[in-house]
Structure 1
Amino acid sequence: MEHVPEDYRDDAPDEHGIPPTTYQALERHLPHGVRDGPRDRKLAVMRRILHGLHGLHPLSPLNNAVRIYVHGWIHRLSPLHHELYTMDPSAFFIPSFLEAIRSNSRDGFRSIMTEPTPGLFVFDMLRPAFCQMLAAEADNFLWWAPERKQGIIRPTTNDQYKCSVVLSEFGLETMLSDLMNDFISPIATVLYPELGASSFDSHHSFVTWFDKGQGEVTGSHVDGSEVTLSACIRQEFTGGEMYFRGVRCTDHVHSETHNEENIVHSQTLGQAMLYRGRHRHGALPTSSGYKTTFEIWCISSLFRRMLDYQTDFTSWCGECRTENI
């Protein structure tokens, strides 16, 4: 059991059964202005956060009505690759990635990564066979649904090309939850300690297709996630590079980009990019061929509650830092 400091040790579990060790674990993640304040104030803030989460279903893009809709017809779709629906690390991931995961250390993670711009990490992750299976499974669903006159849930409201599909729609949610919890969360906890990666409790995962000339599917944007992992699962294209334009808080999401924040990266098959959800980004048009990408948005309900008590974003928002120089 985690050690509880003297000033928490005599506290009994509260009315929701939340033990003092939970408050102690949460305290280290509070904004500095709260964490450095009086104990009574800290406890009041933490109680509002934890009690607000008590009984709350994790944030999820699939609400109960959608889940009923999905499970009502999902059994009618015959999967192409049954092995894709259960996590199999040795079949899905390349050895260097698995070795880094086993190390569970900053040095181990950074040994397989490059960092083209602060906070953007690029590394080889997925086996070609996994990429092929996932792309084929998504293709299968994309063509199957219209033939059965089944609507397709799009991952974003501004998918102008109608070329994305949510992977939870056809049964991959459990496998993707294992991917988030067992592989992405350990890395993000080390690389982004301020984003609550150890408390990820839901994800939004989808595949997007880019045909020739398509790009800017959503334009320059930020994701509805704490951390996003994006990977290329079909590489039969030229162009289609990803661009990044700096990390921003909500108040500065439309502010100008500083020269040093501009970065363009061309994805290769099986290569993953890990970045903050607040890192502005987009895709350039493909000039030939067909590009397919996989994304998983990792979400923490607890972290989002804590943001209600934070006003200082200079540690990660590029524009906040500029204003405070």
Structure 2
Amino acid sequence: MSSNLLLGTHGSAATTTSSSATCSEDSMAAVGARAGRAPDTPLPPRARPRTEGGGAATRRRDRLQRAAPSVRAWKRGQRLAVAVRALRERGCGSEEQMAAVLREIEAEVQRRKQLVHQSAERKAIISQCYKRKHSEVYTLQDSFLAPDFLDMVRYCISPDANLHGLLRYTESFSDKRIYRLPVFTEEFCQAFIEELENFEQSDMPRGRPNSMNNYGVLLNELGMDENFITPLREKYLRPITALLYPDLGGACLDSHKAFVVKYSLHEDLDLSSHYDNAEVTLNVSLGKDFTEGNLYFGDFRQDPSPVPNYIEVEHVRTQGLLHRGGQIHGALPIASGERWNLIIWMRSSAIRNQLCPMCNQKPQLVEAEGFGDGFTETCQEDVPETVDLCSVW
């Protein structure tokens, strides 16, 4: 894939509050806990917050083909102004406090700008040195998918498919546009977890899944993007999201970030309130055996209510939850056992090129490798290809 992709400085989940959060992995990373989380937002009673893109016609065509989503948004003056406002709203008033926090923000931003290169280095090492246990799980097969899921996809690509008909195949939750659906077979989930544990026990380098989870695997580094996640998104998930989320670019989700997170008693127990750097998110419970640890969902970040209305949703092994990336959500603590979740942040460049979903600003772009943060350049002749710095992986 071409490196001339658009990047924004938002990389992972933004902790919730106001629009001051600058993108997925918080372009204002250092104030994530202060300005990006949701300290002022009431949480469900059992939730425990924690820190944590030949001639003129040919060139135009080539650009269109290269325009895989991309990247991150980055505006220094805007970022600092947002941080200052957020900090002052939370009582950080002295000049010394402000200066110290802003230095922390700048240092964290510089660190995050190196994450793309570090990830590429890890991926190269893993590709050369890692010995796979179940090589078959790296290439998506219909046999990995639940029969009911395949029936759902067949319905969605039929000529008469509509939202009302699709909802017969899913379980809906309140009015928050959250849907449970079968995704994988038990056999695949078991083999996949065994592969993940094999990688976890190896001496291979690994990065954090996102800015909030400490334990898990970035699936692009493991080599699962091209032959597993991409066809899953394009061939199977997109027909479903086209009907469920047409307003969020559900028919044109053209990139993703995919990772697995792990919860256990001696590692991460829960996940505090946040929203994702995605138009649509798929969260699949792979196993293993665990108790408690329900997900909770609040308001859509762009439409908050004075008194947030939270609902709890049980995570069921082999089944997935589809929800809007901007839906405020989190995970309650597990009480026993161990849980692995597959998370796919699906992104639409047609949507986010207009407005960065993390900082609510027009993205300014810089070059990035791979999908970046899902932004792409506009295909104007002889316009330099850049990327959005609003996020930082």
Whether the 8 Å contact between 2:68 and 2:255 is mirrored in structure 1 is no
Give the deviation of 1:17 after TM superposition. 4.0
The answer as to 2:111 corresponding to 1:58 is no
Contact 1:226 1:298 in 2 (8 A): yes
Matched with 2:128 is: 75
Shift of 1:138: 1.4
The alignment status of 1:158 with 2:212, answered yes or no, reads yes
The alignment status of 1:169 with 2:221, answered yes or no, reads yes
Q: Deviations over 1:183-242 (max 9, x none)?
A: 11111111000111222222111111111374333x100011110000111141111000
Q: For 2:326, which of 278, 284, 296 is the aligned residue? A: 278
Please say if residues 59 and 201 of structure 1, whose CA atoms lie closer than 8 Å, have aligned partners that are also in contact.
no
Separation in 2, partners of 1:194, 1:14: 31
1:95 aligns with: 147
Matched position secondary structure for 1:303: helix
- Unaligned runs of 5+ residues in structure 2 are 1-55, 73-114, 361-393
What percent of counterpart residues are identical? 28
- Equivalent-residue separation in structure 2 for 1:84 and 1:302 (angstroms): 31
Deviations 1:144-176 (A, max 9, x none): 1xx3xx4311121233xx212111111111211
* Structure that is richer in helix per residue: 1
Pairing partner for 2:352 from 287, 304, 308: 304
- Correspondence for 1:111: 168
Give deviations 1:22-41, integer Å, cap 9, x for gaps: xxxxxxxxxxxxxxxxxxxx
RMSD value, Cα: 2.7
Q: Is the 8 A contact 1:138 1:167 kept in 2?
A: no
CA distance in 2, matches of 1:225, 1:116: 20
Alpha-carbon deviations, 1:12-63, whole Å to 9, x = none? x989647xxxxxxxxxxxxxxxxxxxxxxxxxxxxxxxx9x88544226984
Judge which range, 220-229 or 97-106, deviates more. 97-106
Structure 1 window deviating more from structure 2 (268-277 vs 60-69): it is 60-69
User: In the alignment, is residue 125 of structure 1 matched against residue 177 of structure 2?
Assistant: no
Measured after TM superposition, the shift of residue 136 of structure 1 is: 1.4
Following superposition, the deviation at residue 297 of structure 1 comes to 0.7
CA, structure 1 residues 96+154, in 2 after alignment: closer, same or farther (shift >3 Å)?
Answer: same
Provide, for residues 117-156 of structure 1, a one-character-per-residue CA deviation record: whole Å limited to 9, x for no partner.
2210012221001111221111111121xx3xx4311121
User: Would you say the 8 A contact 2:173–2:179 is kept in 1?
Assistant: yes
Q: 1:60 to 1:71 in 2, by over 3 A?
A: farther
CA distance in 2, matches of 1:291, 1:86: 23
| TM-score of the two chains, using structure 2 as the length reference | 0.59
Structure 1 pair 16–302 and aligned structure 2 pair: CA distance change class (3 A) = farther
- TM-score scaled to structure 1, two decimals? 0.70
SS of equivalent residue, structure 1 residue 151: coil
The reply to whether residue 137 of structure 1 matches residue 195 of structure 2 is: yes
Shift, 1:302, TM fit: 2.2
1:294 aligned residue = 342
Q: Partner of 1:221: helix, strand, or coil? A: strand
Query: CA distance change for structure 1 residues 73 and 267 in 2, over 3 Å: closer, same or farther?
Result: closer
What is the 5 A alignment of 1:198-237?
A: 198-212=251-265, 214-217=268-271, 219-237=272-290
* Alpha-carbon separation, structure 2, partners of 1:269 and 1:71: 32
Partner of 2:248 in structure 1? 195
One-letter code of the match for 2:240?
I
Deviation at 1:296, TM superposition (A): 0.7
Q: For the structure 1 residues 126 and 184, does the alpha-carbon distance in structure 2 shift closer, same or farther, using more than 3 Å as the test?
A: same
Which residue of structure 2 aligns with residue 39 of structure 1? none
Corresponding residue pairs, total: 252
What are the ranges of 5 or more consecutive residues in structure 1 without an aligned counterpart?
1-12, 19-50, 312-325
